[in-house]
Structure 1
Amino acid sequence: MPPKLLSPVFPCLIFLTLLLLSFYSSLLSHPPPAVPPPNRPLCNLFKGHWVLDPTSKPLYDHTCPFHRNAWNCLKNQRENMGLINSWKWVPESCALPRIDPARFLGLMRNKNIGFIGDSLNENFLVSFLCVLRVADMGARKWKKKGAWKGAFFPKFNVTVGYHRAVLLAKYQWQPKQSTVDDQDGLKGIYRVDVDIPADDWVNISDFYHVLVYNTGHWWGYDKFPKEKPLVFYRGGQPIFPPIEMLDGFKVVLENMVSYIQKQVPSRTLKFWRLQSPRHFFGGEWNQNGSCVFSEPLQEFQEQGCEQRSETAEPSD
């Protein structure tokens, strides 16, 4: 008597059993991650302190092509650079490993990173490009899409660009039309449209997967003195009654945040950078001031710098 034919379901059951066994064995070889204690504090990278580490060295040297010559402290042999480069930031409740340029670019493969704002973002960008270049020495300068500067990393197909928009909002110089009455000393105004983004970045949102915004250091009377003030417009009309500079700053931020939320794709990862404390010694940047510090500012020094910045009065 010939043997009975096996049901066609039987091989499927065998395959399913083997698959489940394989999956179960993988669970045994990879135990589930430990659950963190319920009272463990969240990682706050911004709460910590500077630690001197003599073994810490820069990832790049003075030959990085993305440096601006005047700002290349390594090439210009600024004093105490060894000490300055030995400081590292250590958060209180978590570890902050040093950036791995190759791993970072690998994670960002086929993506683009954009910085929008003033020189705070520009300065960070220069250092950032030099760090990433360690993993791709074929990186080359990139200034497309209206970028002020940037770099393309062909090994990973990653583009990093900076778009200069110091107020974020659109602003333009309008000289004084009449010279009949010059007693007020007014030479003209800078018209600021609080609800219109600057042309430098209004059309680039779709290109970038990550965007980093900042503004702040240009909102002062050293940049816009009383003879060349900022005058704020909304909907094409002057805001009435007129508002002061810091109030205008708040209105611009509110409008730019609203624009970003509505117009920048939701898939785009967005960051906002804060200001850095002023650290010039012997005067401001345009008054023979210089940066002579080789150690991080203490907390009371930072507060003092911020207070001086906020209470600055127009110069005569």
Structure 2
Amino acid sequence: MAALLCFSCSHCLAALFFSLFSVIVLVHADVHSFNVEKKQVEKCDFFQGSWVFDDSFDPLYDSSTCPFIGGGFDCLKNGRLDRNYLKYRWQPTACELPRFNGIDFLEKYRNKKILFVGDSLSNNMWRSLLCMLHSAVPTSSYTFSSKGLLSSFSLQDYGISVNWLKNGFLVDLAYESIGKVLKLDSISTGNMWLGADVLIFNSYHWWTHSGHLQSWGYFQYGNMTVKEMDHMEAYKIAMTTWGNWVDNNIDPSKTRVFFQGVAAVHINAQEWGEPTPKDCSKQTEPLKGSTYPGPPVPGEAILKTVLSQTTKPVHLLDITLLTQLRKDGHPSVYAGGGPKFVDCSHWCLAGVPDTWNQLLYAVLVQ
């Protein structure tokens, strides 16, 4: 009998030891898996890749139930019939892009403030993020308002605010006796950017405007005021001014700074080998592969040079290539302005800006 008890106890101890060992191995495996995935995220170049058609891929929100899209970006509501553009996902060349997890995003940034500062493409990305977060917690109460240049969104259950401040140049545009003056070395509104936990800046497209689209009359730099100068040279000076502001005002332990890179426009179909139609009209699929056959976007190199010279960390969301390949992603004639109005600068929602926010998420949570 004693022998049987001894055998039974030994068996129990062995089983207990094996069980504990298994738990330790499993925990170690989970930690190891997490560390490997984290290292892959840190090392991966998410911005080199191609668009892959995936019939199982669905947008992270339904545009018909998102109250934040705005008329110009709601392509389906404005009559777009083809829907394959919603089935393309961005596939980095050497790794996987983490799928956006709205609950995880909200938990990690509970009681935080996120601020977008930029032009209408910044607005495009901001509205995309609002739809993604709202879809993750559709029953949570929210506030949404616009006052002047500031548009605000908050989710009370999480204490998070995600706002957009319209500012297409980042530097000052002043109204003076001679007219509107773009001051390339002056930022007087930077105090409005302070206090955010995450800042996402954007500036490029307004700098390319000319003629009746140009929203300034003069450039000012130091003691020099001129009617005209090379717009890309002006852009470089202004972005350097912005970079200096970041270096002088941002505490990286409190605020993470991003720059929404230069998004492509598709106003010349000859760039991708199609003589007609002349722009993004009737485009229903991306360009294949990982290279764009057209010329580079001038602002891309300028921006990268400026960011390389900042002493404080700024994360570039390098969206140029992935937007160059998406000639099909624009509102085109489905921007709500009638058949004669063709928008080849902004992007349909749901659509390409959702990927920008996936890239933001991948960097924020690593």
Q: TM-score, normalised by structure 2?
A: 0.62
Equivalents in 1 of 2:218, 2:44: separation in Å? 40
Match of 2:27 among 25, 30, 37: 30
CA deviation after TM superposition for structure 1 residue 74, in Å: 2.6
Q: Is the 8 A contact 1:169 1:256 kept in 2?
A: yes
Equivalents in 2 of 1:142, 1:118: separation in Å? 18
Q: Decide which structure has the larger Cα Rg and report it.
A: 1
Equivalents in 1 of 2:292, 2:62: separation in Å? 30
Cα RMSD, aligned residues only: 3.7
Which amino acid letter does the alignment assign opposite residue 184 of structure 2?
A: V
Equivalents in 2 of 1:223, 1:86: separation in Å? 38
Q: Is the 8 A contact 1:50 1:89 kept in 2?
A: yes
Alignment of 1:188-199 (within 5 A): 188=179, 190-197=180-187, 199=189
Q: Is the 8 A contact 1:114 1:212 kept in 2?
A: yes
**Aligned residue in 1 for 2:348:** none
Q: Is the 8 A contact 1:48 1:89 kept in 2?
A: yes
Alignment of 1:1-316 (within 5 A): 30-31=27-28, 33=32, 42-58=43-59, 59-80=61-82, 82-137=83-138, 138-143=141-146, 147-174=149-176, 176=178, 188=179, 190-197=180-187, 199=189, 202-222=190-210, 229-234=217-222, 237-238=223-224, 243-266=229-252, 267-280=254-267, 291-297=281-287, 301=292, 303-304=294-295, 306=297
CA deviation after TM superposition for structure 1 residue 95, in Å: 1.3
Residues 292, 125 of structure 1: CA spacing in aligned structure 2 closer, same or farther, 3 A cutoff?
A: farther
CA offset digits 1:262-295 (Å, max 9, x no partner): 1133320001121111123689xxxx96643222
- Unpaired runs of 5+ residues, structure 1, are 1-23, 177-187, 311-316
Aligned residue pairs total 264
Q: TM-score, normalised by structure 1?
A: 0.71
Which has more helix, going by share of residues? 2
CA deviation after TM superposition for structure 1 residue 102, in Å: 1.2
Q: Is the 8 A contact 1:117 1:166 kept in 2?
A: yes
Equivalents in 2 of 1:228, 1:93: separation in Å? 44
Which amino acid letter does the alignment assign opposite residue 246 of structure 2?
A: I
2:32 alignment partner, SS class: coil
Equivalents in 1 of 2:135, 2:182: separation in Å? 41
Q: Percent identity?
A: 23
Equivalents in 1 of 2:296, 2:151: separation in Å? 30
CA offset digits 1:159-206 (Å, max 9, x no partner): 001111111100134465xxxxxxxxxxx5x3122222263xx22333
Equivalents in 2 of 1:300, 1:229: separation in Å? 37
